[in-house]
C-alpha cells in the first residue's frame, strides 16, 4: 500500500476550505508527514490517518504555514502514550528548532524527538526505500523530497524452476530471495528463474518553489509529483517575485520530467472558492493533473508490467 492523504492544500493563508500545507504518506502502515501546517493534527483526525505510526516529519522550509502544526501534534502524541522516537528532518535550523521543545520543560514529552539538518543531496536510507533531499528555489532556504522505493524482484518463473528440477517448497523461496540452490549436484541461480527487476514507486514533494533544474531532475519518471501550484498563469509576475510557481509552469515541468501524475497544491487563497483557473492553465500543458483538495486521498499503484 502506498496512500497519499492531502491534509492541507492551501497557500500562506488558511481558508474556509483549505488548511496550510501538510501531506501524509502511508507506506505499508508507516506514516511519513511532509510539512505540518497549523491544524494538521485535526486534519489527521478527520481523515482517520492515525498518528501513532508516524515515523518522520519532513519540513520543506521554515515559513510558518509549513511547520506551526508540529508543537500541538507532538504534544498530543505524548498525551496518547507514544514511546517511540520521532524523527524531524529539514533544512538548516531543524535540529535547533527541535531542541527548543526539549528546553521547554512544560512540554514534558514522554518520548524522544530528534531533529536532523539536511542539505541538498542527502539520502536517508530505509530497508525498502530512500528519501532524497533536493534543493528548491524559494525565498528562504528550502528542500524538496523524493521518496524512492527499492526495485522489486522480477517475477518468479515457476514452470522454468520445475523444468530445472527444483521441487516446490523452501527452495522456491530461497531463489525468490536471491539465493542459489543446489539440485542433484547442479546449481540453479536466481537469474535462471527470475525475471528482470521491476521498478518501485517514486513520489516527489516540492514544498514551495519556483520551477528549477533540481526539481526537474528529482522528478524524472516519477509516479507522482506534488508541486507548488500557487497561482494561475495570469499571476506569473507575482509567482516569480514571491518564489512560487504557476499552474502552467508546474505542468510544463511535469511534462518535461515525464511524470505519471501531477498534483498541484499550496493553492493561493485568491482561488479559495474556485480553483478552475489553476486546473485550466495546467490542463493546457499536462493532461494527468489534479488540483488537490483537503482530505483528498490517492493510492499509488505499481506500474503495469
The whole-number pLDDT of residue 105 equals 67
In a domain, 187, yes or no: yes
CATH number at residue 227: 3.60.15.10
pLDDT on residue 288: 98
Instruction: Enumerate the β-bridge partners of residue 33.
Output: 24, 57
Q: Is residue 174 part of a domain?
A: yes
Residues 183 and 260 in one domain: no
Helix 276-283 to helix 247-257 angle (10° resolution) is: 40
168 in the same domain as 118: no
End position of a domain, from candidates 143, 169, 193:
193
User: Helix 70-79 vs helix 40-47: angle between axes, to the nearest 10 degrees?
Assistant: 60
Pair (142, 236) in one structural domain: yes
Under 8 Å between Cβ of 264 and 286: no
What local confidence, expressed as pLDDT, does residue 106 receive? 65
Residue 304 falls within a domain, yes or no? no
Residue after which a domain boundary falls, among 143, 176, 193: 193
- 305 is a domain residue: no
Domain boundary among 193, 213, 242: 193
Name which of 30, 33, 7, 32 is nearest 20 in CA terms.
Answer: 7
Quote the CA–CA distance of 7 and 44 in Å, as a whole number. Answer: 7
* pTM (predicted TM-score): 0.92
Instruction: Say if residue 268 is in the same domain as residue 120.
Output: yes
20 and 113 share a domain?
yes
Positive or negative CA dihedral for 239, 244, 246, 249? positive
Identify whether residues 249 and 280 lie together within a single domain. yes
Same domain, 174 and 262: no
Domain membership flag for residue 289? yes
Reference 40, options 53, 27, 49; nearest CA is 49
DSSP state of 211: -
281 part of a folded domain: yes
Coil vs helix vs strand at 217: helix
The three-point CA angle 96-99-105 to 5° equals: 150
175 and 48: one domain? no
* pLDDT given at position 171: 83
- The pLDDT, as a whole number, for residue 300 is 97
DSSP 3-state percent helix, strand, coil across the chain (nearest 5)? 30, 30, 40
Please indicate, yes or no, if residue 96 is contained in any of the structural domains.
Answer: yes
Give the H or E element holding residue 7.
Answer: strand 2-8
pLDDT for res 304: 79
Say if residue 112 is in the same domain as residue 217.
yes
Domains: count for the chain: 2
The residues annotated as belonging to the active site are 65
Structural domain range at position 247: 2-152+198-299
Same-domain status, 106 and 132: yes
Q: Are residues 89 and 215 in the same domain?
A: yes
In-domain check, residue 248: yes
235 & 103 share domain: yes
C-beta of residue 257 within 8 angstroms of C-beta of residue 216: yes
Q: Which residues of the chain have pLDDT under 50?
A: none
Amino acid at each position: 500500500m502506498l496512500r497519499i492523504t492531502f491534509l492541507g492544500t492551501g497557500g500562506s493563508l488558511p481558508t474556509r476550505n483549505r488548511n496550510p500545507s501538510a501531506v501524509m504518506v502511508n507506506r505499508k502502515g508507516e506514516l511519513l508527514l511532509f510539512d505540518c501546517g497549523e491544524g494538521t493534527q485535526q486534519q489527521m483526525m478527520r481523515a482517520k490517518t492515525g498518528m501513532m505510526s508516524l515515523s518522520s516529519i519532513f519540513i520543506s522550509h521554515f515559513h510558518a504555514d509549513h511547520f506551526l502544526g508540529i508543537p500541538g501534534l507532538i504534544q498530543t502524541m505524548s498525551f496518547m502514550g507514544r514511546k517511540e522516537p520521532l524523527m524531524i528532518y529539514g533544512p538548516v535550523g531543524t535540529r535547533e528548532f527541535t531542541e527548543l521543545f526539549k528546553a521547554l520543560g512544560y512540554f514534558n514529552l514522554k518520548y524522544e524527538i530528534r531533529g536532523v539538518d539536511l542539505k541538498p543531496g542527502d539520502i536517508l536510507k530505509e530497508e525498502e526505500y530512500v528519501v532524497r533531499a533536493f534543493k528548491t528555489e524559494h525565498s528562504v532556504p528550502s528542500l524538496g523530497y523524493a521518496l524512492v522505493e527499492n526495485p522489486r524482484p522480477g517475477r518468479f518463473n515457476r514452470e522454468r524452476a520445475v523444468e530445472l528440477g527444483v521441487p516446490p517448497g523452501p527452495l522456491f523461496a530461497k531463489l525468490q530471495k536471491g539465493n542459489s540452490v543446489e539440485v542433484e549436484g547442479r546449481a540453479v541461480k536466481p537469474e535462471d528463474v527470475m525475471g528482470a527487476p521491476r521498478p518501485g514507486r517514486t513520489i516527489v514533494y516540492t514544498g514551495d518553489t519556483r520551477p528549477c533544474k533540481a526539481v526537474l531532475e528529482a522528478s524524472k519518471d516519477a509516479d507522482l509529483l506534488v508541486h507548488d501550484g500557487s497561482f494561475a498563469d495570469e499571476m506569473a509576475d507575482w509567482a516569480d517575485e514571491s518564489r512560487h510557481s504557476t499552474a502552467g509552469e508546474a505542468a510544463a515541468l511535469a511534462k518535461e520530467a515525464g511524470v505519471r501524475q501531477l498534483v498541484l497544491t499550496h493553492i493561493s487563497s485568491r482561488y479559495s472558492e474556485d480553483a478552475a483557473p489553476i486546473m485550466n492553465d495546467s490542463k493546457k500543458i499536462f493532461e494527468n493533473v489534479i488540483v488537490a483538495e483537503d482530505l483528498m486521498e490517492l493510492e499509488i499503484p505499481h506500474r503495469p508490467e
